[in-house]
């Protein structure tokens, strides 16, 4: 079982029918016609294209003015859960299977619907479904060795968790439901729904679904948007998705609108959301270099702080007691939710804030000699950098040194290769290969930690350079104190 976890999806390709292998790009006029025939609109100024890096995409074939609608879909074209839809009602078996899928694996829930539609090749959505990619370069399809070579424990944990759920569903839960369905009642035309098929369905949905407001229930739901989902991602997109109410009833349409004027030949891009590289890789199979939403996650761990404190130059004597701080410090750590019931120990390094505010505040508190030092501070101030070190020069110096050592320790403890080795590997990796994706991903995390160390060292230098820093102006602060 342990070895299968890395790759429980052997037959993703075998599951697919021969007809399914037709070149996707060749079928794209059919998709356009299908959208138009079913009440949608597609501007004559856009076309589908293909490149080696991001697959299919949409591109302008003429100048498009800002604000122009380039695609419009009526509300019956998106493919969502919609079990009440009588036209393409799911069988009881599919509903029974979906009910066994954990809620957090929403993509798989919707994917089951997709598998059901796919089995009926004459389904309403077939012109769209037949264009979905045959394979996905996402970590649940990586080999065990490739998953291990991601090197970053939080992501490896997530990948293994997904693999385990898929494995259990496909070997235990789904067969239990399907063995009760024979002949015409079989929702997938007698085909096994194994880990490969399930993994395919989950990947198809996780890499393409959009979150929309359900006008009837008011809830948000994830749906697949034919043709619109051919837009690739950018954090600085040139198009936006709009959900527009039509008339007085609850009906709506979905539109892709040009955010700026677009020159001929411009790829249409949408923003998939404020997603870290972990989520982009897990769900979509790509990463964005210098992603502003990416962070390195770690657990708030007193023993790590202890080692970092010593590595930062503190002697054993005089070092704070990280594992069992005095009660006044414990009370503040609890307010930061780093201790006690309801604690949330996940903290981050990287991003514009350099380190998680809670970790910064915790260290400032732990290095404070006694509660009176904090009486003119509030927790909000302690979680931010500000122009002055809130608890004085010595406290801030200790905090910065310890944080830099934490980042360096995470770098050396978590990752089996150095950034330098990874850069060398990238020079020889095949473009668009799993190896290139994996090494780029882990190198991004390492670079982020190296940047954190550099930024903290920079702050340390500035702290020394400014003679005034460290003189606490207690008189200037009023109220809000908790000391
Ligand atoms: C919603 S689909 C977009 C259409 C897709 N390119 C296709 O071939 O069907 C999302 C997928 O497109 C690719 N993609 C989108 N934006 C990308 C980007 N900025 N860089 C690399 N790949 C991207 C990824 O494979 C992702 O899973």
Among the residue ranges 45-54, 77-86, 158-167, 437-446, the one predicted with the least confidence is 77-86
Q: 284, 432, 436, 440: which to mutate for ligand 1, most atoms within 8 A of CB?
A: 284
CB of 448 closer than 8 Å to CB of 454: no
Q: Could you tell me if 270 and 308 lie in one domain?
A: no
Residue recorded with tokens 């024979």:
182
Q: Is residue 430 part of a domain?
A: yes
Q: Could you tell me if 132 and 201 lie in one domain?
A: yes
Residue recorded with tokens 């002055």:
388
Q: Could you tell me if 180 and 218 lie in one domain?
A: yes
Q: 365-382: b or e for each residue (b if 16 or more CB lie within 10 Å)?
A: bbbbeebebbebbebebb
CATH number of the domain where residue 313 is located: 3.90.1420.10
Report the separation in Å between the CA atom of 177 and the middle of ligand 1, taken as the mean of its atom positions: 34
Written as six digits, the tokens of 297 are 């996650």
Q: Residue 85 pLDDT more than 60? A: no
Q: Could you tell me if 336 and 259 lie in one domain?
A: no
For residue 333, the tally of other CB atoms under 10 A from its CB is 21
By three-state DSSP, how is residue 74 classified?
strand
Q: Is residue 422 part of a domain?
A: yes
DSSP string, 358-369: HHHHHHHHHT-S
Q: Whose CA is nearest to atom 14 of ligand 1?
A: 54
Q: Could you tell me if 214 and 314 lie in one domain?
A: no
Instruction: Supply the mean pLDDT for the chain.
Output: 86
Q: Could you tell me if 273 and 167 lie in one domain?
A: yes
Q: Is residue 86 part of a domain?
A: yes
Q: At what angle do helices 302-311 and 393-414 cross, to 10 degrees?
A: 110
- Among residues 233, 264, 284, the one where a domain terminates is 284
CATH number of the domain where residue 280 is located: 3.90.1410.10
Indicate which atom in ligand 1 lies nearest the CA of residue 283: 27
Q: Is 285 a pocket residue for ligand 1 (Cβ < 6 Å)?
A: yes
Among the residue ranges 86-90, 281-285, 421-425, the one predicted with the least confidence is 86-90
Q: In total, how many domains does the chain have? A: 2
Rounded distance between C-alpha atoms, residue 60 and residue 263, angstroms: 7
Q: Could you tell me if 16 and 150 lie in one domain?
A: yes
Q: Is residue 49 part of a domain?
A: yes
- Give me the domain span that covers residue 352: 295-465
Confidence of residue 68 (pLDDT cuts 50, 70, 90): very high
Q: Is residue 390 part of a domain?
A: yes
Q: Could you tell me if 260 and 302 lie in one domain?
A: no
pLDDT tens, position by position, 173-199: 999 888 888 777 788 878 888 999 999
Report the separation in Å between the CA atom of 232 and the middle of ligand 1, taken as the mean of its atom positions: 5
Q: Is residue 58 part of a domain?
A: yes
pLDDT tens, position by position, 313-351: 877 677 899 999 999 999 999 999 999 999 999 999 999
CB of 185 closer than 8 Å to CB of 90: no
- Among residues 252, 284, 316, the one where a domain terminates is 284
Q: Could you tell me if 35 and 67 lie in one domain?
A: yes
Q: Is 133 a pocket residue for ligand 1 (Cβ < 6 Å)?
A: yes
Q: Could you tell me if 312 and 373 lie in one domain?
A: yes
In total, the chain counts a number of residues equal to 483
Q: Is residue 470 part of a domain?
A: no
Look at residue 20 in the predicted model and tell me its pLDDT: 43
- Among residues 220, 253, 284, the one where a domain terminates is 284
Kindly state the average pLDDT of the residues 279-290: 96
Q: Could you tell me if 279 and 337 lie in one domain?
A: no
Q: Could you tell me if 357 and 276 lie in one domain?
A: no
Look at residue 3 in the predicted model and tell me its pLDDT: 31
By three-state DSSP, how is residue 44 classified?
coil
């Amino acid at each position: 079982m342990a070895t299968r976890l890395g790759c429980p999806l052997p037959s993703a390709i075998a599951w697919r029918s021969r007809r399914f292998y037709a070149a996707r790009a060749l079928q794209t006029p059919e998709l356009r016609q299908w959208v138009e025939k079913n009440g949608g609109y597609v501007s004559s100024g856009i076309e589908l294209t293909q490149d080696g890096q991001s697959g299919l995409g949409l591109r302008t074939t003429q100048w498009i003015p800002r604000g122009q609608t380039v695609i419009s879909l009526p509300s019956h074209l998106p493919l969502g859960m919609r079990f009440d839809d009588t036209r393409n009602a799911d069988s009881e078996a599919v509903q029974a299977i979906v009910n066994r899928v954990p809620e957090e694996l929403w993509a798989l829930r919707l994917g089951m619907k997709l598998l059901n539609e796919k089995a009926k090749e004459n389904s309403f959505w077939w012109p769209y479904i037949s264009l979905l990619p045959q394979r996905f370069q996402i970590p649940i399809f990586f080999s065990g060795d490739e998953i291990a070579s991601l090197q970053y424990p939080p992501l490896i944990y997530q990948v293994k968790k997904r693999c385990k759920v898929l494995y259990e569903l496909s070997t235990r839960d789904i067969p239990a439901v399907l063995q009760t369905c024979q002949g015409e009642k079989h929702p997938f035309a007698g085909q096994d729904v194994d880990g490969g098929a399930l993994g395919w369905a989950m990947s198809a949905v996780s890499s393409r679904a959009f979150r929309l407001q359900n006008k009837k229930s008011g809830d948000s739901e994830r749906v697949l948007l034919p043709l619109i989902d051919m837009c690739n991602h950018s954090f600085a997109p040139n198009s936006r998705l709009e959900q527009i109410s039509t008339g007085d009833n609850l009906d709506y349409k979905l539109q892709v609108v040009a955010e700026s004027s677009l020159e001929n030949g411009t790829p249409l891009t949408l923003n998939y959301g404020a997603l870290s590289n972990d989520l982009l890789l897990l769900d979509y199979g790509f990463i964005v270099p210098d992603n502003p939403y990416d962070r390195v996650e770690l657990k708030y761990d007193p023993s790590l702080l202890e080692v970092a404190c010593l590595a930062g130059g503190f002697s054993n004597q005089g070092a704070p007691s990280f594992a069992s701080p005095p009660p006044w410090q414990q009370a503040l750590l609890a307010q930061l939710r780093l201790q006690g019931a309801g604690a949330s120990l996940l903290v981050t390094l990287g991003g514009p804030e350099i380190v998680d505010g809670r970790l910064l505040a915790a260290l400032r508190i732990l290095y404070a000699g006694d509660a009176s030092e904090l009486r003119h501070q509030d927790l909000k101030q302690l979680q931010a950098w500000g122009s002055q070190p809130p608890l004085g020069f010595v406290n801030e110096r200790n905090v910065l040194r310890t944080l830099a050592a934490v980042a360096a320790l995470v770098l050396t403890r978590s990752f089996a290769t150095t950034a330098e080795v990874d850069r060398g590997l990238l020079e020889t990796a095949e473009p668009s290969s799993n190896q290139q994706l994996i090494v780029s991903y882990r190198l991004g995390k390492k670079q982020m930690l190296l940047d954190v160390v550099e930024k903290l060292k920079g702050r340390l230098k500035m702290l020394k350079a400014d003679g005034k820093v460290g003189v606490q102006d207690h008189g200037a602060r009023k109220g809000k104190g908790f000391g």
